[in-house]
Structure 1
Amino acid sequence: MIQSLVFDKDGVILDLVGTWFPVVEKLVDYTMMRVPATSRDTVTRSRLLASIGVDEASGNIDPMGLFAMGSFTDIRAAWQTLMPPGSIDLQNDESYRVEAKRLVRELVHGNTVPKGDVVTPLKTLAESGFQLAVLTNDSEDSARRSLDELGIESLFHPIIGADSGHGGKPEPHGLLHCLSVHGTDPSRALMIGDTGADFGAATNARVADFICIADDPLYRPHQDVKVDNVISRLVDLPDLLARQGYMPRS
């Protein structure tokens, strides 16, 4: 019997584009301001976005790209490869890091966009006896703030970020830590996510199964993700678990 449900945050509970794309656009604009004027013909806004899996012209987002899968540390590392020699060190320049954090706080918190109705299904799952946790490649503090804005932080324990001391996905350590807190064997747990990093964590931790949030099965992050395990929103999760025999039908 399944006991634990571990959720990714962005693209699963939160609308990834609605919540984070305005932030990334501002970070790109700020990063461009820090690029020497003589290099702005080669280091362009389009190239910065493309390096993290965002096509500026079409607006398409690669579900396997860094915008969808990575942390801001990963994004800065990708952008650093485009910086001209001798220019700003995005990972270590204190003024850049401080301003980037300010932009995130200013633009995200208070503007969290849920991915549809997430409150109803999550409360249903908690009331059905499942233990819920969040595992994100965002920071733990940012995750807690966003979940609190939606009024659902108290449903999850633990809430683990990339900076919580267990590494990031697709490594399994954060997921295994969540299950350890629950006292749950991996064979009695499901990972619910939308990216290759989520699927990788589920595979590496050897949990019972992976539930994918995607608008279409074609967008699932790996061909090994079962088509029958693809749902477009969390509101569909209780019914899916009921069909699979993991909870009573409503």
Structure 2
Amino acid sequence: MRIDGIIFDKDGTLFDFRATWDVWALGVIDELSAGDAALAQRIADAAVFDLAARAFRPESPIIAGTNREAAEAIGTALPGRPVEEIESFLSMRAAMAPLAPAVPLDPYLTGLAARGLSLGVITNDTEAGALAHLGKAGVLAHFDFVAGFDSGHGAKPDPAPLLAFCRSTGLNPARVVMVGDSHHDLLAGRRAGMQTLGVLTGTALAADLAPLADAVLPDIGHIPAWIDA
């Protein structure tokens, strides 16, 4: 079926998850624990983050969750701090995360736009975080639609934000591809009636994504060849 638009997840899709968010998490844990090794371990356990491996475990709720859900998880290790305070702290630190693009994004997105495709980003991060990251990477202007979990459309796996992209661009959902690295991304795409592509630049394995994906690719750089095929 013809493809008129592509929606990208952000973390683990446009940006390599491990190289970006594992590094970010180490900094967050270090700052919140203020040198207290026992507290650092409690925060890591709450985040399902392996301090020895310096990496999120695949089952961490923070990987595909919203900023609020991340704050609620970490808050279980910080009972004296309001969740709202933790949420604000995480949001500020997320905006400064060390970004690692999955591919050189500017020429890649320029090539997709040259095909006449409408492009969007839908993330369970905050809208402000998404705009900051895309701006920092110098690619915000390539996207026709950007939404976070707090943009008023809901959060994945709810299909509502994906359908908001279609309303904004005037596209038929069946001719849009949802690209993501998590079950949440692909389930949202299926529920929206879209085509779905999994990518392996997050924490999920191909076997985790395959049941909900039309194809699983190493990274977004392989999408043009998939479209042509």
**TM interval, short-chain normalised:** 0.7 to 0.9
Is the 8 Å Cα contact of residues 64 and 221 (structure 1) preserved in structure 2?
A: no
C-alpha distance after superposition, 1:186-210 (max 9, x if no partner): 1111100001110121122121x21
The Cα shift of 1:234 comes to 1.6
Equivalence for 2:193: 206
Question: Which residue of structure 2 lines up, in the alignment, with residue 233 of structure 1?
Answer: 219
Q: What is residue 152 of structure 1 aligned with on the other side?
A: 139
d(CA) in 2 for partners of 1:173, 1:98: 25
Q: Which runs of 4+ in 1 moved over 6 A?
A: none
Counterpart in 2 of 1:24?
A: 25
Q: Distance in 2 between matches of 1:159 and 1:102?
A: 19
Q: CA deviation at 1:99?
A: 4.4
Report what 2:157 is aligned to: 170
SS in 1 for 2:7: strand
String of CA shifts for 1:40-61, please: whole Å, max 9, x gaps. Answer: 85xx423422433322223453
Identity of aligned residues (%): 25
The amino acid across from 2:128 in the alignment is D
Contact kept in structure 1, 2:210 and 2:216, CA below 8 Å: no
Structure 2 SS opposite 1:45: helix
In the TM superposition, residue 82 of structure 1 has moved relative to its aligned partner by 3.6
**TM-score with structure 2 length normalisation?**
0.86
Distance 2:59 2:165 in 1: 24
Contact 2:183-2:212 within 8 A present in 1 as well: no
Q: 2:60 aligns with which of 53, 58, 65?
A: 65
The answer to which of 232-241 and 14-23 deviates more is 14-23
- Selected match of 1:80 from 75, 84, 92: 75
Which sections of structure 1, spanning at least 5 residues, go unmatched? 244-250
Tell me the SS of whatever aligns to 1:154. Answer: helix
Q: Distance in 1 between matches of 2:20 and 2:55?
A: 16
Answer with 1 or 2: which has the greater Rg: 1
Post-superposition offset of 1:229: 1.1
Q: Identify the match of residue 53 of structure 1 among 30, 34, 48.
A: 48
Cα deviation, residue 98, structure 1:
5.0
Deviations 1:6-54 (A, max 9, x none): 10011111122222333222222233349xx8xx85xx42342243332
Q: Structure 1, residues 141-181: CA drift from partner, whole Å, max 9, x if none?
A: 22112112222111111101111111111111111101111
Alignment CA distance shift 1:149-1:102 (3 Å): closer
Is contact 1:120–1:235 with CA below 8 Å preserved after alignment?
A: no
CA shift at 1:136, angstroms?
0.6
> Which residue of structure 1 lines up, in the alignment, with residue 84 of structure 2?
92
Match of 2:15 in 1: 14
User: 233-242 or 215-224: which moved more?
Assistant: 215-224
Whether the 8 Å contact between 2:5 and 2:118 is mirrored in structure 1 is yes
Match of 2:228 in 1: 242
- AA at the equivalent of 1:196: H
1:138 positional shift: 1.0
